[in-house]
């Protein structure tokens, strides 16, 4: 393989970044890669979700960029990773409280998309994300390859058709009885907002490898990523 990307020195922590729209399979791919390489997972969407939740609890409007930015100044978020049956399971802790379930509601999905529009919020969360990734990790989000870790070597942009992504989200929410059409509308609305915001919009980094999971099994996407990384690290 003729690939002149620099090979990281053995001492540098491994960093793999995955960006893409909601429902493309990023979380599953990122989790499986973290398991494969034995490194932590950094779910940056969970950080925006936690900010939306804490903002709501403190009576701060999701439209109030300066107040939300202020909230990031001292933002005691932590991830606790455990293993259940060989699978990584991650808890999101805010000031020691497990908020993993509370941040996954449709309302907080909407709130996270809204709070993420503000420059004060994005700037405030930048160092937090970099500090959490310092020891190496698989980082997933919307602007990992473009803004947070522009120097990462292994950047992937995972996408899929709107229909395929809505179907996946619907299957995840199956127990809640939401209609597929409603899920599709929600995904479309969030996509539009995430892609059209002025600050760090969802776009693929010029040097990211784009993978379309519309007609691929998630396991095949994971294999492809592992193969690409192995190709880069194979001695010439």
Tell me which residues touch ligand DC (CB under 6 A).
Answer: 22, 44-45, 48-49, 112-113, 116, 141-143, 190, 194
Nearer to ligand DC among residue 155 and residue 190 (C-beta): 190
CB-based contacts of 160: which residues, under 8 Å, 6+ apart? 21, 23, 24, 25, 168, 212, 213, 214
8 Å CB contact between 121 and 115: yes
5-37 CB burial, b ≥16 within 10 A, e <16 = eeebeeeeebbbbbbbbbbbbbbbbbbbbbbee
Instruction: Report, in Å, the least distance between residue 49 CB and ligand DC.
Output: 6
To ligand DC, the closest distance from the beta carbon of 117 in angstroms equals 8
Coil, strand or helix at 21: coil
Cβ distance to ligand DC smaller for residue 48 or 94? 48
Q: How far is the CB of 146 from ligand DC (least distance, A)?
A: 10
C-alpha–C-alpha distance, residues 30 and 41, integer Å:
7
Closer to ligand DC by Cβ: residue 7 or 147: 147
Residue closer to ligand DC by CB (options 100, 229) is 100
Least CB distance to ligand DC at residue 223 (A): 23
């Amino acid at each position: 393989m003729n690939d002149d990307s620099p090979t990281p020195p053995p001492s540098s922590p491994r960093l793999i970044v995955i960006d893409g729209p909601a429902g493309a399979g990023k979380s599953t791919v990122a989790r499986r890669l973290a398991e494969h390489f034995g490194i932590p997972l950094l779910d940056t969407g969970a950080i925006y979700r936690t900010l939306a939740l804490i903002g709501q609890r403190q009576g701060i409007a999701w439209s109030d960029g300066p107040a939300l930015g202020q909230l990031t100044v001292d933002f005691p978020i932590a991830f606790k990773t455990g293993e259940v049956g060989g699978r990584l399971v991650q808890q999101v802790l805010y000031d020691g409280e497990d908020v993993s379930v509370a941040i996954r509601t449709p309302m907080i999905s909407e709130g996270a998309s809204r709070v993420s529009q503000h420059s004060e919020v994005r700037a405030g969360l930048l160092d937090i994300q970099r500090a959490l990734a310092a020891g190496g990790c698989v980082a997933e989000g919307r602007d990992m390859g473009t803004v947070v870790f522009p120097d990462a070597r292994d950047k992937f942009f995972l996408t899929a058709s709107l229909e395929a992504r809505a179907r996946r989200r619907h299957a995840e929410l199956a127990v809640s009885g939401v209609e597929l059409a409603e899920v599709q509308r929600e995904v479309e609305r969030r996509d539009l907002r995430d892609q059209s915001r002025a600050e760090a919009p969802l776009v693929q980094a010029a040097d990211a490898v784009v993978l379309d999971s519309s007609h691929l099994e998630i396991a095949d996407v994971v294999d492809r990523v592992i193969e690409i990384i192995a190709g880069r690290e194979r001695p010439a």
